[in-house]
Amino acid sequence: MARSDDDSWDPASSVGATATLVAAARALATARGQRTGEPLIDDPFAAPLVRAVGLDFFTRMVDGDLDLSEVPDFTPERVDALVDAMALRTKFFDGYFIAAANMGIRQAVILASGLDSRAYRLPWPSGTVVYEIDQPEVVEFKLTTLSRLGAQPTAQHRAIGVDLRDDWPAALRAAGWQADQPTAWCAEGLLIYLPPEAQDRLLDTLIQLSTPRSRIATEFAPGIVDLDADSARAGTATFAAQGLDLDMASLVYPGPRHSAADYLSERGWHVNAVTTSELFSRNGLTPAPPDEHDPLGEIVYISAELRG
């Protein structure tokens, strides 16, 4: 189903199902690290959250009952590279928050938080408040599921069910966010699901809300600019025989857009950017060869600071 201005979702539908896909990849990376003793990440909540969503494809994936190598074009090497890439993405944003905390920032805001569990698994310093923003159904599902698991946040945790197309800054303020304090903002896996002009509005809002020493982390997928919709559709269609109906081409907004790195740099932010290949090398892994089946291209991960 194509996107619309007033669409909504839960973790089993539309954009929400992509959050479940990402959580399933984190679960696989966590399980691999436990087997090898060389973990890139440790997300003990990923697999239980995926199982609770109840999409058979992802449940079989995290339970080891789905052999992705049997899916067309998914060689064992490609599967390993995809899982590693997601683990490294997670590690990048984990490291971003830890570095911000070490610099004394005690407010973290995770936009479109999905099934992210950082509020429950990162070693937040005392006094840190983690705000999570997502669709009301997504927020309610995650809070309910983690409560049933007996999970406890490792920081003060304030989940806000509000659409980012609505007045989310007002909801954030109402939840206790302090406008005069620096904030570590995170927009992980979000921008491709926004029209280009909405991406700019979101970044403008973050800039306007930020005091000196605030930080922003996000990414840029260069392939979104001239996305080959047929290629993107074919990539997810290969899963249809396994029971997953997820048309990525209908969920994203292709077309010319700014790189978040350039946009923030031009507005006075100090920007660092790193490609997926560089993350592989930094972590002692051999970068995967270019994936001809990935229409989004090589992701660039971005962290930016507003220096005072």
Do residues 85 and 276 touch, judged by C-beta distance below 8 A? yes
The 10s digit of each residue's pLDDT in 143-164 is 999 999 999 999 999 999 999 9
* pLDDT value of position 79: 81
Does position 1 have pLDDT exceeding 60, yes or no? no
pLDDT, averaged across the chain: 93
State mean pLDDT over 64-83. Answer: 76
* pLDDT value of position 68: 64
State mean pLDDT over 300-305. Answer: 98
Does position 208 have pLDDT exceeding 90, yes or no? yes
State mean pLDDT over 225-238. Answer: 79
56-65, 140-149, 235-244 — which is least confidently predicted?
235-244
Task: Report pTM.
Answer: 0.95
* pLDDT value of position 151: 98
* pLDDT value of position 274: 98
